[in-house]
């Protein structure tokens, strides 16, 4: 593929949004064509997922895994603004969360084996060139969520955050063929960004 596919992962409150904006600005300034995207998407499946995350619609863990999978397939394949089409046109695609989130969040309840198969062996789903994991201790994530939000989503309770962080590391150990870089994100945004740039450029 002519373009590069970069994924950011991390707990809620790990600072993904800030770092993604900075990286996009920096790469654009260097003349790259950059496209920012996220999961859940803005497509119909993403809407169903957001209702479930907000607790408006109740969904079982398996349903959530299936919805995220369908959303990801649409995200890759959409002919207009899908990831595959953008990479083919030479864009650097930066995605806020991808299948590593499904393995971490849905994997806690469902077990990893079938989730890994469903996501990583699906021919429609692209493998990222790079995954940057912004690592913060659970307390930092919890504090940042408290400061930034009026209400919490279903995965944002403190005990869940701790379990998710552990699950991310379990997932990374299993995915040996993936380019995953863990960055200590419990520092100033400037220090974190410096490390990100060293990896990306
Ligand atoms: P959201 O508030 O959209 O974004 P963020 O916290 O990244 O700023 O939250 C997305 C939530 O969806 C987050 O709690 C993680 C969860 N999620 C999954 O459970 N599985 C997935 O496959 C993805 C992509 C996200």
The domains found in the chain, sorted by start residue, are: 5-200 (3.40.50.300)
**pLDDT of 80 higher than 90:** yes
Is residue 166 scored above 90 in pLDDT? yes
Average pLDDT over every residue of 160-188: 97
Mean pLDDT to the nearest integer, 70-96: 98
Provide the percentage of residues in the chain whose pLDDT is more than 90: 91
Is the distance from CB of 65 to CB of 106 less than 8 angstroms? yes
Atom 7 of ligand 1 has which residue's CA nearest to it? 12
Q: In which band, very low, low, confident or very high, does the pLDDT at 40 lie, cut at 50, 70 and 90?
A: very high
Task: Say yes or no: CB of residue 68 within 6 Å of ligand 1.
Answer: yes
Q: Which of 107-121, 141-155, 157-171, 184-198 has the lowest mean pLDDT?
A: 141-155
- Residue nearest ligand 1's atom 11 by CA: 53
Asked whether 9 lines ligand 1 (CB < 6 A), one says no
pLDDT for position 134: 98
In short, whether 63's Cβ falls inside 6 Å of ligand 1 is no
Nearest-CA residue for atom 5 of ligand 1: 12
Higher-confidence position of 149 and 30: 30
Please give the pLDDT value at position 141.
92
- Ligand 1 atom showing the smallest separation from residue 49 Cα: 12
Q: Yes or no: say if 40 and 52 are a contact pair by the CB < 8 Å rule.
A: no
Q: Is any atom of ligand 1 closer than 6 Å to the C-beta of 8?
A: no
Asked whether the whole model's pTM tops 0.85, one would answer yes
Output the residue whose Cα is nearest ligand 1's atom 23.
101
More confident residue, 146 or 68: 68
Q: What percent of the chain has pLDDT over 70?
A: 100
Q: Which residue has the higher pLDDT, 5 or 158?
A: 5
Closest residue CA from atom 3 of ligand 1: 40
């Amino acid at each position: 593929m002519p373009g590069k596919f970069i994924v950011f992962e991390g707990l809620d409150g790990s600072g993904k949004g800030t770092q993604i904006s900075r990286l996009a600005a920096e790469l654009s300034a260097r003349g790259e064509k950059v496209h920012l995207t996220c999961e859940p998407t803005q497509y119909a499946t993403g809407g169903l997922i957001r209702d479930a995350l907000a607790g408006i619609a109740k969904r079982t863990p398996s349903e959530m895994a299936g919805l995220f999978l369908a959303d990801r397939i649409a995200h890759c394949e959409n002919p207009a603004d899908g990831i595959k089409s953008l990479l083919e046109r030479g864009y650097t695609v930066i995605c806020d969360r991808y299948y590593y989130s499904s393995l971490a969040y849905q994997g806690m309840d469902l077990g990893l084996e079938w989730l890994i198969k469903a996501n990583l062996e699906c021919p429609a789903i692209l493998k990222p060139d790079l995954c940057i994991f912004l690592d913060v201790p659970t307390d930092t994530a919890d504090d940042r969520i408290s400061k930034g939000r009026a209400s919490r989503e279903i995965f944002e309770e403190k005990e869940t955050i701790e379990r998710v962080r552990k699950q991310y590391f379990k997932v990374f150990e299993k995915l040996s063929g993936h380019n995953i870089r863990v960055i200590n994100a419990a520092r100033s945004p400037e220090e974190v960004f410096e490390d990100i740039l060293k990896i990306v450029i």
